[in-house]
Amino acid sequence: MATSLLLNSGHHIPSVGLGVYKSTPGEETYGAVLSALRLGYRHVDTAQVYGNEADVGRAVRDSGLPRDQVYVTSKLWRDAYGYDRALAAVQDSVRRSGLPYLDLVLLHCPGEPGPREGAWRALEEAVRQGLVRSIGVSNFSQAHLEKLSRTATIQPAVNQIEVHPFLQRRELVAYCQAAGIVVEAYSPLSKGHKLSDPRVAGVAARLGVTPAQVMIRWGLQHGMVSLPKSVNPDRQAVNLDVFGFALDEGAMAQLDGCEEGLVTGWDPVAHDPV
């Protein structure tokens, strides 16, 4: 299995990334990102609202890795929507990171329709200015995506949504993949709620891997990018070690049968207006 996916923007995105949601700004985030990069991660996912963009950027710079070997994503919070505010917000994110550009910037949620359209135009302008290489969305439903596509001059490269075996969003994932939009799965471990589920644990025991590895691998085999989060280097290493085994048809069918609509976080996909 390839360790990266090709986006509709022409850039590749690593298939496993480190999420830094709820990683405390400062030394915790800095240490977690630096540890992950030393372990082999090449993709870090942050957001303005996390308050740790600067720590991510500092770790990337201090890693000694060439800039083009680390994929860095951030997201605009809805209070920065509207054209002028969104363009300024992208500029602020790049400045805070201390990096020459960001690989991917997303609208963090649909928010309100009017400001959303202006924010998307700002992201398109940020691409033209070289501040950002790819742009996308997070927590968008099919209806949100269809509306955006009618006015966009650059189509979203990704839609980052909560997905795991217990929340599969099959119709939305199928729509995105048919439209050439890569799905990024956040909370791929269901925030730990289902790691001890006997179906997951049974597959893990049979294959000699961990339940976390099983859940991450399930998403990869469905063509998604996976964004597990951990500040623990040992867990980081395990979460990245998912390319040396495969889930067979029986295991995939068993995990596909786990769907129960389990939303572990917020759900703008369902609740934000179109």
What the block records as the tokens of 269 is: 């996909």
Domain count, the chain: 1
Does residue 263 form part of some domain? no
- pLDDT, residue 203, reads 98
Task: List, in sequence order, the alpha helices (H) in the chain.
Answer: 27-39, 53-62, 83-97, 113-128, 142-149, 170-178, 198-207, 211-221, 233-240, 249-256, 268-271
- pLDDT, residue 1, reads 74
- pLDDT, residue 200, reads 98
CA–CA distance, 158 with 132 (Å, rounded to integer) = 14
What the block records as the tokens of 95 is: 């400045």
**Per-residue pLDDT tens listing for the chain (274 residues):** 779 999 999 999 999 999 999 999 999 999 999 999 999 999 999 999 999 999 999 999 999 999 999 999 999 999 999 999 999 999 999 999 999 999 999 999 999 999 999 999 999 999 999 999 999 999 999 999 999 999 999 999 999 999 999 999 999 999 999 999 999 999 999 999 999 999 999 999 999 999 999 999 999 999 999 999 999 999 999 999 999 999 999 999 999 999 999 999 999 999 999 9
Does residue 1 form part of some domain? no
Does residue 4 form part of some domain? no
Domain ranges, residue 246? 12-257
- Are 71 and 36 in contact by the 8 Å Cβ rule? The answer is no
The DSSP bridge partners found for residue 44 are 18, 72
Does residue 266 form part of some domain? no
Does residue 274 form part of some domain? no
Residues serving a catalytic function are 50
CATH number, residue 131: 3.20.20.100
- Are 42 and 72 in contact by the 8 Å Cβ rule? The answer is no
Q: Is 271 annotated as a binding residue?
A: no
Does residue 160 form part of some domain? yes
Does residue 270 form part of some domain? no
Does residue 3 form part of some domain? no
Annotate 176-214 with b (16+ C-beta within 10 A) or e (fewer).
beeeebbbbbbbbbbbeebbebebbeebbeebebbbbbb
Task: List, in sequence order, the alpha helices (H) in 40-82.
Answer: 53-62
- Are 23 and 47 in contact by the 8 Å Cβ rule? The answer is no
